Amino acid sequence: MEVVIEKLDHFGRGITYINDKICFVDFALPEEIVDIKITKEKKKYLEGKIIKFIKTSDKRVESKCPYFKECGGCDLRHLIKEEQEIFKTEKVKEILSKFANLSSNKVKDIVSVNKDNYRNKVVFHVKDKKLGFYKRKSHDLIEIDYCLNLDDRINKLIPDLKKKVKKDNTKSIMVRVSNDNDDVIINRDDKEIISSIKDKKYLITKDDFFQVNKFLTEHLYDEVVKNIKRLNSKKVLDLYCGTGTIGIYVSDYVDSVVGVEKVSSSIKSANKNKELNKIDNIKFIEGSSEEVYPKLKEEFDTVICDPPRSGLEKRVIDTLKEMTPKNIIYISCDPVTLARDLKILKEIYDIEEITPFDMFENTYHVECICLLKLKNK
């Protein structure tokens, strides 16, 4: 069946309509004319697979990765980088408009470094003593020798890891390398590593969250600092603080910071990071943001929130509405939950600006920083 692709959905799939029914076509680009085979037929949608290209887009590029399309890791390697950035910016605009009724002029230009080999962490899967990644939409394994997204120090470990999994019953192997030195954690049994972001050093262990894009994280955190300076922030609350990364990064510019994190090992790392960077105006509290924040007696002029994909818990939003800090800096890795939360917060906050960051190049994922200012009463 010959179809014309109209646009991309938020997962980077081509969209066409067949008898008014939406049809998703993997790896098809807008304005392309393709012959497709229907692979799934549901009540509300269809899925199709490209059989033949009739007309290709000038935005299409030959992927440099031999595993692309079969491997579940990347979604957009067939699209030139500039268009990947436009896709992500438009996606953020559409989601914020649809779910939070926000004007697209609030969304600034995407920040990107446009580099391969950006990831400092990976989880390899192991099946039948072979090492690789899960195939697209499946738990079958595609064996790999190299991944273009990974820091080359991880790629160089692959031959040894392949030998290792032949000899034992490992199901998965996590590897994390430092951004700037030879420290490495393999398969959760080493201890900690130290990684730097600009002049700050962070000790991280196997269970701690740490941003994976070794090139872009400093730009993300610099944006937080830019806002902290611009807002003349003095007392900062860093909710979902992980190993204290952001709080420590902004500590030079404010009077005091309190960090809250629920994972015990991360709080331990955060306290070590406070020592490592010789910082005395920050303290960390172990506990969930929804338990700890409502009980905090101090007032903060700026609250930084960097929650997981699920976004802010209702109790955190309720507490923000009750405590009314002057500013909120919300860092999000899921525009849908960001939009859900902004819809509520915008009752009392002006959404000043949202800056997307291309932290996960070649995938459909996008990170955002959003600045909120309390409305004048």
Residues that bind ligand SAM (CB under 6 A): 209-211, 240-242, 245-246, 260-263, 266, 288-290, 306-308, 313
In the complex, minimum distance from the CB of residue 204 to ligand SAM, in angstroms, rounded to a whole number: 9
In the complex, minimum distance from the CB of residue 240 to ligand SAM, in angstroms, rounded to a whole number: 3
Query: What span, in angstroms and rounded, lies between the C-alpha atoms of 11 and 118?
Result: 21
Q: Which stretch of DSSP H or E encloses residue 142?
A: strand 141-143
Q: In the bound complex, which residue of the shown chain has the CB atom lying closest to ligand SAM?
A: 242
CB-CB neighbours of 183 under 10 Å = 18
Buried b (16+ CB within 10 A) or exposed e, 185-205: bbbeeeebbbbebeebbbbbb
Is residue 147 among the annotated active site residues?
no
Residue in this structure with the two tokens 């009739």, named with its chain if needed: 54
Nearer to ligand SAM, 26 or 290 (CB): 290
In the complex, minimum distance from the CB of residue 266 to ligand SAM, in angstroms, rounded to a whole number: 5
CB 367 within 8 A of CB 123: no
Query: What span, in angstroms and rounded, lies between the C-alpha atoms of 231 and 243?
Result: 24
Nearer to ligand SAM, 155 or 355 (CB): 355
Q: Which stretch of DSSP H or E encloses residue 134?
A: strand 130-134
CA atoms within 13 A on the CB side of 52: 4
Q: What is the DSSP letter of 101?
A: -
Nearest to 5 by CA among 45, 42, 55: 55
In the complex, minimum distance from the CB of residue 242 to ligand SAM, in angstroms, rounded to a whole number: 3
Nearer to ligand SAM, 117 or 288 (CB): 288
> What phi and psi, each to the nearest 5 degrees, are found at residue 239?
-80, 145
Which two three-digit tokens encode residue 27?
């790896």
3-state secondary structure of 310: coil
Nearest to 248 by CA among 269, 222, 227, 279: 279
Nearer to ligand SAM, 294 or 308 (CB): 308
Nearer to ligand SAM, 3 or 237 (CB): 237
Q: Which of 74, 333, 368, 370 is catalytic?
A: 333
Nearer to ligand SAM, 32 or 358 (CB): 358
In the complex, minimum distance from the CB of residue 131 to ligand SAM, in angstroms, rounded to a whole number: 27
CB 144 within 8 A of CB 152: no
In the complex, minimum distance from the CB of residue 287 to ligand SAM, in angstroms, rounded to a whole number: 7
Q: Tell me the catalytic residues.
A: 333
